[in-house]
């Protein structure tokens, strides 16, 4: 048989007909007892005359054969359902009125002033409801949305929720198995932790559905499962599943229904190579061996079924299958969505060839940092062009991610390839998955495709676009109401419904400016996107110096300057009259109206330049702290690092270093790295970085320019010695107890030899910066500060960095004059020491930052990884947006400039001579703005970017 029947052709299974003569019937009647005995003792029924042997379970086997080529999908009547299979009895109906709806539907993306009825777990109505709707649907809760934006629930196509749980504890680490590179029989469901603290946080960011993948340690890591994030009455992993296989622990299928899509994780490149000590050649041979095994089983099944369906049972034994390999056999039958972690062109090309060799479709390449450079390769994949699931800007953390580009989403979309933005939670906190779409939009992906990238496109790729990812009648009632346009920075849910059930109890809403209800405008990055392709992901980033000594900036909306120890707005355009700023040799000579600066302009030499900022702004350069920026180029490549400092509590310090155990970061600085220059291009003009350490004593931090070419360039090193840094807390590599660390720190501060860094701290000359997360540890540090001050009779300059639980001690920190650097600025309970976070709106009224500021604590913000330094301007804006007006623009800028400098020991003079950032089309706090220049007093010039 050339083609097995499809689902629509299935009918009743008929047994082969055999002629029976009268004598045979007599013999059968006479020997009935013998026949019954033989029937029960034998696996076959023998039918006389033609000797056809029919297996006992022939009907089931034939049904299985007929289903082998049926493709997954919803039942034919799914669109006519009146109730969701996930409906919870007792859930009332809800009518959302007067909504600005983004539907996800390309036929009509937006509907304004619309009403949406949620009932029985599905969307029953979208449009403009008549008064008779209550008569049709009965009573319901009415929510006046007031014109707010409403979207489908966010779909995270790459998550490790529940298998890489928060907090990270050994007993709940179920991300990867290390039993071998090929493990298609493993399932993320079997390790899904229902107590992950991140579910609630992700829901508060609008995430309603997640594809929970195994990790990427293995070439084939196992099967993934799609879940809804809401808690269930059953409290079980199985109750969270969305369209799982009909029989999860069995290979049998429902003969009356088409199968459901399955999901599976693959990985190529560095991860499996590093875990197993393999090369890429080894990994792909393992792939080919595994797929050859699956193909052979499939071929035996097809041959078996060809005979069985033809009634040729003679010689047929059991149906050929293997529980270990059945999922991979389904892959080569085209019934599994394959999600492949793959970065570089070499790996992408390898995998495309693999799909063609074994003839299976690929759902998506994930991470896929070089896909934008080889779109033609993707289009050669078997049967379909895979989608690409990306980070927006997270790159360069290992060699295969080094050429990642922020312009990849737009470039791929321009080549007709589906783009998905994903979190890889907890690599990125999926609570902020929408931020990935916002960045993709900022760098050139169209607005509708950017929103689709976290809703309808992942739904389609997962094979679930018949029920999630859209606001359509009959779809799951997974809905988010936003406090601003979903592509506006800081957009936060007012409420989230999953299966028609509201998920946030008493949500807290921070009022946003009216302009945030509109789609933001974005800069034109056409030239930069082309350069990304031309230079294969490594376009030149070195700034160019202005040719003229004098620059006249026109159409300026505002000017902010350092006014130690804060930032002040010194000019704001009034009554629609744009301002002028005159810069001479890296210093502002005049700002204000044309009339005010006329004298300065008229005395200029003929060689000056004009630059129209189109409503732009000038503000202090921002400061980065918290990552190894300037000491590390590629996280996964040790040869690109300065290296880690030895821990005096657990390492043997060489005699050569005796008396000089405290290292200086300035000695290991690396300039002109890509993350450093990208930060400079984003208005982060300096960084303060300590030596890298997991031990107690890290060393002395240094302040340096992110735009410098090398250490000897004028202004490259801003301040050799900034602060002394130590780490106190629990760490797998830190064996001494916390009490031992505190005791050692007490000894170092009270008994330090004169002139040593700890002596300078004890005398109040330089700050002590302690990396600590836990409130109890922070409390011990406050007590230690008081003890040292009482002993030395000098005020100790103490700053706590990390500080996930510092809000619990806000009053005490304020009274003790302890500064805090909140790192990261938006909290996540990554470890046990960080579980008591203050998440902020919509879950809590206050954030950690607003709470600390309210108690008089000097607050700065930090980052964890150097690639995110470029987001600093957005981080401070976000902090202000969720403060409900309690953080002004000047105060927001101070969080990442003067506050950080003071907390980290940068002297007044160095701060006041800091760089200024020039933005086009808005202030540095506006998502719409583009950084175009740096005014540098230290260089006595202007850098164009």
DSSP 869-891: GGGHHHHHHHHHHTTTTSS-HHH
Identify which of 516, 522, 518, 469 has the alpha carbon closest to the alpha carbon of residue 492.
516
The reported pLDDT for the residue numbered 43 is 39
The reported pLDDT for the residue numbered 732 is 66
- Average pLDDT score over the chain: 91
Rounded Cα distance between 414 and 431, Å, is 28
Angle of CA points 136, 139, 143, to nearest 5°: 110
Over residues 268-296, the mean pLDDT reads 97
The reported pLDDT for the residue numbered 180 is 95
Cβ count within 10 A of residue 826: 21
Does residue 605 surpass a pLDDT of 70?
Answer: no
365-393: per-residue pLDDT in tens? 999 999 999 999 999 999 999 999 999 99
Rounded Cα distance between 930 and 522, Å, is 8
Does residue 40 surpass a pLDDT of 50?
Answer: no
Does residue 8 surpass a pLDDT of 70?
Answer: no
Identify which of 768, 766, 764 has the alpha carbon closest to the alpha carbon of residue 789.
764
The reported pLDDT for the residue numbered 647 is 81
**What is the DSSP code (8-state) at residue 78?**
G
Beta strands in 215-273 (DSSP E): 220-228, 262-267
Over residues 202-226, the mean pLDDT reads 98
705-760: per-residue pLDDT in tens? 999 999 999 899 999 999 999 999 987 666 689 999 999 999 999 999 999 999 99
863-902: per-residue pLDDT in tens? 999 999 999 999 999 999 999 999 999 999 999 999 999 9
- 349-353: long-range pairs with CB below 8 Å, 24+: 349/374, 349/377, 350/268, 350/280, 350/284, 351/266, 351/268, 352/377, 352/378, 352/380, 352/381, 352/382
Backbone angles phi, psi at 336, to 5 degrees: -135, 135
The reported pLDDT for the residue numbered 596 is 81
Rounded Cα distance between 149 and 110, Å, is 10
487-533: per-residue pLDDT in tens? 999 999 999 999 999 999 999 999 999 999 999 999 999 999 999 99
Over residues 296-324, the mean pLDDT reads 93
545-554: per-residue pLDDT in tens? 999 999 999 9
Q: How many CA atoms lie within 13 A of 11 on its CB side?
A: 4
The reported pLDDT for the residue numbered 30 is 37
108-129: per-residue pLDDT in tens? 999 999 999 999 999 999 999 8
Identify which of 203, 243, 250 has the alpha carbon closest to the alpha carbon of residue 226.
243
Over residues 314-341, the mean pLDDT reads 94
Does residue 97 surpass a pLDDT of 50?
Answer: yes
Rounded Cα distance between 31 and 33, Å, is 6
User: What contacts 83, CB < 8 A, 6 or more positions away?
Assistant: 120, 121, 122
Total length of the chain? 945
The reported pLDDT for the residue numbered 17 is 36
User: Binning pLDDT at 50, 70 and 90, where does residue 660 land?
Assistant: low
The reported pLDDT for the residue numbered 182 is 98
User: Binning pLDDT at 50, 70 and 90, where does residue 593 land?
Assistant: confident
The reported pLDDT for the residue numbered 654 is 62
Does residue 10 surpass a pLDDT of 80?
Answer: no
The reported pLDDT for the residue numbered 655 is 57
Does residue 38 surpass a pLDDT of 60?
Answer: no
H/E run at residue 703: strand 702-705
The reported pLDDT for the residue numbered 135 is 73
């Amino acid at each position: 048989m050339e083609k097995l029947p499809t689902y629509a052709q299935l009918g009743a299974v008929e047994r082969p007909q055999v002629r029976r003569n009268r004598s045979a019937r007599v013999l059968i009647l006479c020997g009935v007892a013998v026949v019954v005995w033989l029937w029960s003792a034998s696996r076959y029924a023998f039918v006389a005359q033609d000797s056809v042997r029919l297996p006992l379970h022939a009907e089931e086997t034939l049904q299985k054969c007929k289903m082998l080529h049926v493709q997954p999908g919803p039942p034919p009547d799914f669109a006519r359902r009146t109730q969701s299979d996930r409906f919870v009895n007792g859930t009332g109906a809800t009518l959302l009125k007067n909504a600005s709806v983004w539907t996800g539907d390309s036929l009509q993306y937006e509907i304004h002033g619309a009403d949406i009825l949620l009932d029985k777990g599905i969307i029953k109505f979208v449009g403009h409801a008549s008064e008779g709707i209550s008569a049709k649907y009965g009573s319901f809760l009415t929510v006046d949305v007031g014109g707010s934006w409403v979207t489908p629930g966010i779909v995270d196509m790459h998550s490790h929720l529940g298998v890489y749980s928060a907090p990270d504890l050994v007993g709940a680490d179920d991300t990867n198995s290390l039993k071998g590179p090929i493990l298609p029989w493993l399932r993320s469901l079997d390790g899904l932790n229902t107590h992950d603290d991140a579910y609630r946080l992700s829901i508060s960011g609008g995430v309603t559905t997640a594809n929970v993948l195994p990790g990427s340690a293995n070439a084939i890591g196992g099967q993934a499962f799609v879940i809804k994030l809401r808690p269930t009455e059953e409290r079980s992993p199985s109750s969270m599943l969305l369209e799982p296989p009909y029989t999860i622990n069995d290979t049998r299928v429902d003969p009356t229904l088409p199968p459901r899509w399955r999901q599976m994780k693959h990985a190529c490149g560095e991860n499996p190579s590093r875990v197993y000590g393999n090369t890429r050649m080894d990994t792909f041979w393992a792939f080919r061996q595994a797929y050859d095994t699956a193909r052979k089983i499939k071929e035996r099944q097809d041959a078996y079924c060809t005979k069985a369906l033809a009634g040729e049972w003679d010689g047929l034994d059991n149906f050929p299958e293997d529980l270990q390999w059945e999922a991979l056999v389904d892959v080569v039958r085209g019934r599994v969505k394959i999600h492949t972690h793959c970065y570089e062109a070499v790996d992408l090309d390898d995998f495309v060839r693999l799909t063609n060799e074994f003839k299976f479709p690929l759902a998506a390449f994930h991470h896929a940092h070089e896909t934008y450079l080889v779109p033609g390769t993707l289009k050669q994949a078997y049967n379909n062009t895979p989608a690409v699931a990306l980070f927006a800007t997270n790159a360069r953390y290992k060699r295969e991610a080094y050429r990642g580009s922020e312009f990849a989403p737009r470039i791929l979309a321009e080549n007709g390839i589906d783009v998905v933005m994903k979190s890889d939670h907890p690599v990125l906190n999926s609570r902020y998955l929408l931020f990935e779409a916002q960045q993709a939009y900022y760098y050139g992906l169209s607005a509708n495709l950017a929103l689709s990238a976290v809703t309808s496109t992942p739904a389609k790729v997962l094979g679930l676009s018949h029920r999630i990812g859209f606001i359509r009648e009959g779809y799951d009632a997974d809905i988010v109401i936003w406090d601003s346009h979903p592509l506006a920075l800081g957009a936060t849910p007012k409420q989230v419904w999953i299966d028609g059930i509201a998920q946030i109890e008493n949500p807290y809403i921070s009022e946003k400016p009216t302009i945030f209800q509109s789609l933001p405008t974005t800069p034109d990055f056409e030239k930069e996107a082309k350069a990304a392709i031309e230079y294969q992901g490594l376009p030149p980033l070195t700034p160019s110096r202005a040719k003229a000594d004098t620059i006249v900036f026109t159409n300026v909306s505002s000017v902010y300057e350092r006014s130690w120890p804060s930032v002040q707005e010194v000019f704001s355009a009034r009554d629609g009259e744009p301002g002028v700023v005159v810069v001479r040799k890296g210093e502002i000579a005049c700002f204000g109206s044309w009339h005010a600066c006329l004298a300065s302009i008229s005395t200029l030499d003929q060689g000056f330049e004009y630059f129209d900022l189109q409503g732009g702004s000038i503000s202090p350069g921002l400061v980065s702290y918290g990552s190894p920026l300037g000491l590390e180029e590629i996280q996964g490549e040790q040869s690109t690092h300065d290296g880690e400092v030895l821990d005096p509590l657990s390492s043997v310090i060489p005699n050569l270093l005796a008396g000089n155990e405290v290292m200086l970061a300035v000695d290991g600085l690396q300039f002109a790295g890509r993350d450093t220059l990208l930060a400079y291009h984003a208005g982060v003009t300096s960084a303060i970085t300590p030596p890298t350490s997991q031990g107690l004593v890290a060393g002395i931090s240094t302040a340096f320019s992110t735009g410098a070419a090398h250490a000897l360039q004028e202004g490259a090193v801003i301040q050799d010695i900034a602060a002394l840094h130590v780490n106190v807390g629990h760490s797998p590599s830190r064996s001494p107890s916390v009490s031992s660390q505190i005791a050692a720190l007490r000894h170092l501060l009270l008994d330090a030899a004169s002139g040593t860094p700890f002596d300078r701290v004890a005398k109040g000359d330089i700050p002590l910066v302690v990396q600590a997360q836990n409130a109890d540890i922070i409390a011990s540090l406050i007590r230690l500060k008081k003890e040292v001050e009482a002993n030395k009779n000098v005020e100790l300059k103490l700053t706590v960095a990390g500080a996930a639980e510092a809000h619990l001690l806000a009053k005490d920190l304020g009274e003790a004059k302890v500064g805090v650097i909140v790192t990261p600025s938006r909290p996540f309970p990554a470890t046990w020491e960080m579980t008591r976070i203050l998440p902020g709106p919509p879950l809590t009224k206050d954030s950690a930052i607003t709470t600390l500021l309210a108690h008089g604590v000097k607050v700065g913000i930090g980052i964890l990884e150097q690639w995110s330094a470029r987001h600093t301007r957005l981080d401070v804006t976000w902090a202000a947006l969720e403060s409900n007006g309690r953080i002004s623009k000047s105060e927001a800028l101070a969080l990442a400039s003067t506050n950080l400098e003071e907390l980290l020991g940068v002297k007044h003079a160095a701060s006041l001579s800091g760089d200024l950032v020039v933005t086009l089309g808005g202030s540095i706090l506006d998502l719409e703005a583009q950084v175009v220049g740096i005014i540098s007093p230290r260089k006595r010039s202007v850098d164009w970017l």
